[in-house]
C-alpha cells in the first residue's frame, strides 16, 4: 500500500487493467461468433443484419454491442467508391477538343484532367527513359507515326551504359569524393554486367521523374505552410495521416483515378513523397534564425527576395535532407507500384517472388538496393557539402567535371561504335548488355536455397511449427477474444492517464473509427502481428543499441549498418525470409522484426548519446560503476528518446505487416491487396489504409504525449 501511495499513477494504471480484464471475463464470446475469412460484403447470409444509410446497404453479422460494435461506418467505402465513380464518369461533362479524331467530344471534367495529367507524366517518363535506353515515343509525341515511317533514322539512340556509369561516377566524385565515385562506378558496372541494365534504367527514369516533381511540390507547399498559418493547419492532418498510412493503401484509389502503369505510379509516389518534403522544408525554414530574416528585411528584401535569397539558401541543408527522404520514398514506391504495372526492377522482383524464383528476386533486389544506396549517399553528400568559393578559379578548373564528362561521352560513343564492329552478330555489349544476357547468379542462389531447405528443413520446420502453434496462435486468439468495449476502455483509459481528457478524446475517436468499420477483427490481427514484431524488435534493438553504445567504434558501425538497412526498399526484406521460411506467417513476422529493429536500435543509440557529457563527468566523479551509470543516469535520461524510437518501430512494423500480405496474412493488408484487383476496391482500399494509419496514430498520440510530458519533467529541450 505504501507503494501505491508513493506512486498514485501506478494505482490508476492497475485500476485500468483490472477494469479491462474484468470486462474481458464478464463478456462471453457469442456462440455465433467466428473469425470471418471471406469478405463480409459479398456474403449473403440470412443470419446477417443490414441497414441502409445514404442509399447504401450495409450487411453484417450482428453481435452484442459490448462484444463487437455494428459496422456503422460500413457505408463509407461504398460511398467513397460511388463518389469517385461519379466524379470520374458523370460529373461536369464538357466539350473537349480531341487531337486524334479532330472533333469535339463530351467528357467528364475530372476524367479529362486526369487523362491529361497522365499523358503529361507518360511523356516525361518516356523522355527520360529514351535518353537512357533509346526509343521513338518522344519523337512521335512531337510529330506522328507517319513522319517516323517516312524518316526511319529518327530515333533517340539512348546512352551507352559506359557513359551513364562514368557519368554517375563523376557526379559522385563531385558530391562525395573518391570513395563514392568508386562505389558508383562499381555498382553501375555490376548492374550492366549482370544484365539488369534495362529494368534498372526503367526504375531510374521513374525516380528521375517522381523525385524532382515531389521535390517541387513539397517545397512549394512547405513554403506556403511556412507563410500562412491557415495552409499549415489545413495540411497538418493530411501530413499526420500520411506518415502512418501504408504506402500500399494509396495505390488503390489512384488506380481508379489514373489507371495502370508508370504514370499512375509516379502520381502515387508524389502523394507519398510530398509529405516528408513538406515537413522538412517547414522544419528547415523554421530553424532559420529570426535575426537572419530581419537582416534580410533590413537589407530591403521584398517577400520574394526574402524567400529565394535568404530563407531557402539558409535552410539549404534541411531542404536537401528532404530531397534525400523523397528519393528514399521514391525507391520504396518504385517497388510497390509494380503492383499497378510500373515497369522496372520492382516489376521483375514481384514477378520472381510470385514464381518463387528466389535467385532472380535476389538479383533484382540487389540492384535496387545498390542504386538506392548510391542515390542516398549522393543526396546526403550533397546536403552536407559546403558551398565553395570558385570566383578565383579559371574556366577549366571551374568546369573540369563537365569537361571530363564531355570527354567520357565521346569516348563512350566511340567505344559503342567499335563494339558495333566487334560484336558483329547479336548484341553490342559495349552499348547495352541486354536483359538476361549478362552473367546471372540466379541459378547459384536457387541451388543455395534448395540446399538450405534440404539441410535445415527439419529444424526450420520445427521452429516454424513451434512459433505458430505455441506463440502466434494463442496470441492471436487472445487478441480476438477481447470484447470491443474492453479494448475501447483500455485505450481511452490509457489516453486519459497519459494526456488527460484531450488525448483520451483523440484516441477514442481513432479507435471508434476502426471499431465502427467492417474490419475490426482484421485490425486486431494486424495489431497482434505488429505487437509481436514490436516486442521482439524492441528487445533486440534496445539490447543491441545499449551494447554497441559501450564503445565508440561499435556505435558508429551500428549507426552505419542502420543507415544502409534503412535504405533498402521495404519489399526487399521479403526476399531472404521467403528464402528461409517459405510462405508462412513466420516469414512475415521475421521480415517485420528485421525491418522494425532498425529504428529501435538507432533511437536507443541516439538517445544514449544525447545524455549530456557534463552529466557523465558528474556521475564519474561521484564514483558510479558502469552499470550504475547506465541504469541510474543514462537510461532514465535517454528513455524519452528511446520511446520515440518505439514510435518509429511501431510505424515500421505496421508497414511491414501490411506488405506481408503479399506473402499471405489474414489481416487488413490482405484486404488491401484484394482491393487492388477489385474494380470497386478504391473506397475499400482507402478506408483500410486509414484504419491502418489510425492504429499507428493511436500509439503515436499516446507515445508523443507521454514523451512530451516526460521531457518537460526532466527539463530536456
Partner 1 sequence: MSEPVIKCQSVYKIFGANAERMLKEANGNVDAKTFQDNGCIVGVNNASFEVSKGEMLVVMGLSGSGKSTLLRCISRLTDATGGKIFIEGQDLLNLNNKELIDLRRNKMGMVFQSFALLPHKTVLENIAFPLQIKGIKTEDSINKAMDMVKLVGLDGRENYFPRELSGGQQQRVGIARSLAVEPDIWFLDEPFSALDPLIRKEMQDEFLRLQEKLQKTIMFITHDFDEALKLADRIAIMKDGIIEQLDTPANIVLKPATEYVRKFTEEVPREKVLLIQDVMDEKTSSDIGDLKVSKDEIIENVAEKILTQEKTVAVTDSKNNVVGSINPAKIINTVFGGRKNNN
For partner 1, the binding residues (CB under 8 A) are 289, 291-292, 294-295, 297-302, 305, 309-310, 313-314, 316, 386-387, 389, 391-392
Nearer to partner 1, 100 or 291 (CB): 291
Nearer to partner 1, 32 or 303 (CB): 303
Nearer to partner 1, 310 or 695 (CB): 310
CB 659 within 8 A of CB 614: no
* Alpha carbons 332 and 570: distance in angstroms, whole number: 6
Q: CB 712 → partner 1: shortest distance, Å?
A: 21
> Buried b vs exposed e over 58-79: b needs ≥16 C-beta within 10 Å?
bbbbebeebbbbbbbbbbbbbb
The three-class DSSP label of residue 625 is coil
Q: CB 250 → partner 1: shortest distance, Å?
A: 36
CB 519 within 8 A of CB 688: yes
* Alpha carbons 411 and 348: distance in angstroms, whole number: 32
Q: CB 229 → partner 1: shortest distance, Å?
A: 13
* Alpha carbons 226 and 229: distance in angstroms, whole number: 7
Nearer to partner 1, 76 or 315 (CB): 315
Q: CB 178 → partner 1: shortest distance, Å?
A: 24
What is the gyration radius of the CA atoms in the chain, in angstroms?
Answer: 28
Nearer to partner 1, 4 or 295 (CB): 295
Residues 6+ apart with CB under 8 A from 95: 104, 105, 106
Q: CB 300 → partner 1: shortest distance, Å?
A: 3
- Grid look-up 499513477 returns 9
Phi-psi region of 244 (alpha: psi -120 to 50; beta: other; left: phi over 0): alpha
Q: CB 220 → partner 1: shortest distance, Å?
A: 21
439: cell is 552473367
For residue 551, the Cα-to-chain-centroid distance in whole angstroms is: 32
Nearer to partner 1, 308 or 402 (CB): 308
Nearer to partner 1, 379 or 546 (CB): 379
Q: CB 167 → partner 1: shortest distance, Å?
A: 27
* Alpha carbons 424 and 196: distance in angstroms, whole number: 22
Residues 6+ apart with CB under 8 A from 257: 84, 88, 110, 114, 264, 267
Q: CB 306 → partner 1: shortest distance, Å?
A: 9
CB 328 within 8 A of CB 214: no
* Alpha carbons 356 and 350: distance in angstroms, whole number: 10
Q: E strand or H helix at 107, and its extent?
A: strand 103-108
The sign of the dihedral angle between the CA atoms of 588, 589, 592, 598 is negative
Backbone angles phi, psi at 330, to 5 degrees: -60, -40
The three-class DSSP label of residue 35 is coil
Nearer to partner 1, 101 or 386 (CB): 386
Q: CB 399 → partner 1: shortest distance, Å?
A: 19
Q: CB 319 → partner 1: shortest distance, Å?
A: 12
Nearer to partner 1, 32 or 386 (CB): 386
Q: CB 390 → partner 1: shortest distance, Å?
A: 10
The sign of the dihedral angle between the CA atoms of 222, 227, 233, 234 is negative
Q: CB 349 → partner 1: shortest distance, Å?
A: 41
Nearer to partner 1, 32 or 392 (CB): 392
Nearer to partner 1, 185 or 306 (CB): 306
For residue 693, the Cα-to-chain-centroid distance in whole angstroms is: 13
> What is the torsion angle, in degrees rounded to the nearest 10, for the CA atoms of residue 541, residue 544, residue 547 and residue 549?
-60
The three-class DSSP label of residue 541 is helix
417: number of Cβ within 10 Å: 14
Q: CB 194 → partner 1: shortest distance, Å?
A: 41
Nearer to partner 1, 319 or 349 (CB): 319
Q: CB 314 → partner 1: shortest distance, Å?
A: 6
638: number of Cβ within 10 Å: 25
Which among 162, 700, 74 is positioned nearest to 415, based on CA atoms? 162
430: cell is 559495349
Q: CB 296 → partner 1: shortest distance, Å?
A: 8
Q: CB 292 → partner 1: shortest distance, Å?
A: 5
Q: CB 413 → partner 1: shortest distance, Å?
A: 37
Nearer to partner 1, 317 or 674 (CB): 317
187: number of Cβ within 10 Å: 22
Longest dimension (CA), the chain: 95
Q: Which residues pair with 135 in a beta bridge?
A: 156
391: number of Cβ within 10 Å: 5
Nearer to partner 1, 200 or 379 (CB): 379
Nearer to partner 1, 229 or 424 (CB): 229
**Total residue length of the chain:** 717
User: Whole-angstrom distance between the N-terminal and C-terminal Cα of the chain?
Assistant: 35
Nearer to partner 1, 50 or 292 (CB): 292
Three-state SS string over 349-378 comes to HHHHHHCCCHHHHHHHHHHHHHHHHHHHHH
* Alpha carbons 199 and 306: distance in angstroms, whole number: 43
Which among 531, 536, 533, 535 is positioned nearest to 482, based on CA atoms? 531
Nearer to partner 1, 84 or 315 (CB): 315
159: number of Cβ within 10 Å: 22
Which among 432, 433, 467, 666 is positioned nearest to 581, based on CA atoms? 467
Q: CB 610 → partner 1: shortest distance, Å?
A: 24
Nearer to partner 1, 19 or 307 (CB): 307
Amino acid at each position: 500500500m505504501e507503494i501505491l501511495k508513493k506512486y498514485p499513477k501506478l494505482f490508476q494504471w492497475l485500476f485500468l487493467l483490472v477494469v479491462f480484464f474484468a470486462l474481458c471475463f464478464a463478456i462471453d464470446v457469442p456462440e455465433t461468433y467466428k473469425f470471418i475469412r471471406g469478405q463480409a460484403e459479398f456474403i449473403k447470409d440470412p443470419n446477417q443484419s443490414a441497414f441502409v444509410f445514404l442509399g447504401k446497404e450495409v450487411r453484417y453479422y450482428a453481435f452484442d454491442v459490448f462484444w463487437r460494435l455494428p459496422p456503422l461506418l460500413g457505408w463509407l467505402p461504398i460511398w467513397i467508391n460511388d463518389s469517385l465513380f461519379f466524379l470520374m464518369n458523370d460529373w461536369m461533362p464538357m466539350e473537349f477538343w480531341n487531337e486524334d479524331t479532330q472533333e469535339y467530344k463530351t467528357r467528364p471534367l475530372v476524367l479529362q484532367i486526369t487523362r491529361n495529367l497522365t499523358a503529361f507524366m507518360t511523356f516525361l517518363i518516356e523522355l527520360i527513359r529514351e535518353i537512357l535506353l533509346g526509343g521513338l515515343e518522344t519523337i512521335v509525341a512531337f510529330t506522328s507515326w507517319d513522319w517516323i515511317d517516312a524518316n526511319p533514322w529518327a530515333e533517340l539512340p539512348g546512352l551507352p551504359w559506359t557513359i551513364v556509369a562514368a557519368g554517375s561516377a563523376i557526379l559522385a566524385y563531385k558530391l562525395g569524393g573518391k570513395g563514392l565515385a568508386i562505389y558508383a562506378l562499381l555498382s553501375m558496372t555490376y548492374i550492366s554486367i549482370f544484365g539488369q541494365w534495362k529494368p534498372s534504367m526503367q526504375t531510374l527514369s521513374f525516380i528521375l521523374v517522381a523525385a524532382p516533381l515531389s521535390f517541387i511540390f513539397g517545397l512549394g507547399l512547405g513554403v506556403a505552410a511556412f507563410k500562412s498559418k491557415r495552409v499549415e493547419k489545413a495540411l497538418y492532418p493530411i501530413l499526420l495521416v500520411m506518415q502512418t498510412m501504408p504506402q500500399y493503401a494509396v495505390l488503390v484509389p489512384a488506380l481508379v483515378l489514373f489507371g495502370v502503369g508508370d504514370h499512375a505510379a509516379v502520381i502515387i509516389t508524389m502523394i507519398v513523397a510530398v509529405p516528408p518534403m513538406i515537413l522538412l522544408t517547414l522544419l528547415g525554414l523554421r530553424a532559420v534564425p529570426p535575426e537572419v530574416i530581419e537582416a534580410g528585411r533590413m537589407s530591403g528584401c521584398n517577400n520574394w527576395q526574402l524567400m529565394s535569397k535568404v530563407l531557402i539558401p539558409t535552410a539549404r541543408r534541411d531542404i536537401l535532407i528532404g530531397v534525400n527522404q523523397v528519393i528514399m520514398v521514391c525507391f520504396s514506391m518504385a517497388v510497390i507500384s509494380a503492383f499497378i504495372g510500373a515497369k522496372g526492377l520492382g516489376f521483375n522482383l514481384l514477378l520472381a517472388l510470385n514464381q518463387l524464383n528466389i535467385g532472380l528476386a535476389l538479383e533484382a533486389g540487389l540492384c535496387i538496393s545498390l542504386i538506392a544506396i548510391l542515390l542516398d549517399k549522393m543526396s546526403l553528400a550533397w546536403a552536407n557539402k559546403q558551398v565553395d568559393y570558385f570566383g578565383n578559379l579559371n574556366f577549366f578548373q571551374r568546369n573540369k567535371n563537365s569537361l571530363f564528362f564531355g570527354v567520357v561521352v565521346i569516348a563512350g560513343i566511340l567505344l559503342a561504335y567499335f563494339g558495333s564492329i566487334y560484336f558483329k552478330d547479336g548484341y553490342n555489349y559495349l552499348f547495352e548488355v541486354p536483359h538476361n544476357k549478362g552473367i546471372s547468379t540466379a541459378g547459384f542462389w536457387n541451388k543455395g536455397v534448395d540446399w538450405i531447405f534440404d539441410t535445415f528443413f527439419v529444424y526450420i520446420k520445427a521452429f516454424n511449427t513451434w512459433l505458430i502453434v505455441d506463440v502466434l496462435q494463442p496470441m492471436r486468439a487472445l487478441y480476438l477474444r477481447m470484447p470491443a468495449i474492453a479494448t475501447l476502455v483500455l485505450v481511452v483509459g490509457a489516453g486519459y492517464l497519459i494526456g488527460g481528457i484531450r488525448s483520451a478524446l483523440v484516441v477514442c475517436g481513432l479507435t471508434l473509427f476502426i471499431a465502427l468499420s467492417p474490419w475490426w477483427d482484421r485490425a486486431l490481427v494486424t495489431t497482434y502481428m505488429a505487437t509481436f514484431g514490436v516486442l521482439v524488435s524492441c528487445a533486440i534493438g534496445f539490447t543491441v543499441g545499449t551494447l554497441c553504445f559501450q564503445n565508440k567504434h561499435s556505435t558508429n558501425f551500428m549507426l552505419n549498418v542502420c543507415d544502409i538497412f534503412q535504405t533498402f526498399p521495404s519489399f526487399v526484406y521479403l526476399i531472404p525470409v521467403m528464402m528461409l521460411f517459405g510462405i508462412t506467417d513466420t516469414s512475415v513476422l521475421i521480415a517485420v522484426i528485421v525491418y522494425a529493429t532498425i529504428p529501435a536500435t538507432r533511437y536507443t543509440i541516439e538517445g544514449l548519446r544525447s545524455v549530456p557529457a557534463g552529466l557523465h563527468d558528474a556521475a564519474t566523479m561521484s564514483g558510479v560503476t558502469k552499470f550504475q551509470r547506465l541504469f541510474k543516469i543514462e537510461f532514465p535520461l535517454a528513455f524519452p528518446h528511446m520511446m520515440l524510437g518505439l514510435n518509429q518501430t511501431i510505424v515500421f512494423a505496421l508497414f511491414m505487416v501490411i506488405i506481408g500480405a503479399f506473402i499471405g496474412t489474414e489481416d487488413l493488408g490482405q484486404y488491401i491487396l484484394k482491393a487492388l484487383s477489385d474494380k470497386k476496391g478504391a473506397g475499400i482500399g482507402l478506408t483500410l489504409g486509414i484504419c491502418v494509419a489510425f492504429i499507428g496514430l493511436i500509439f503515436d498520440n499516446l507515445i508523443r504525449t507521454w514523451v512530451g510530458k516526460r521531457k518537460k519533467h526532466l527539463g530536456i529541450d
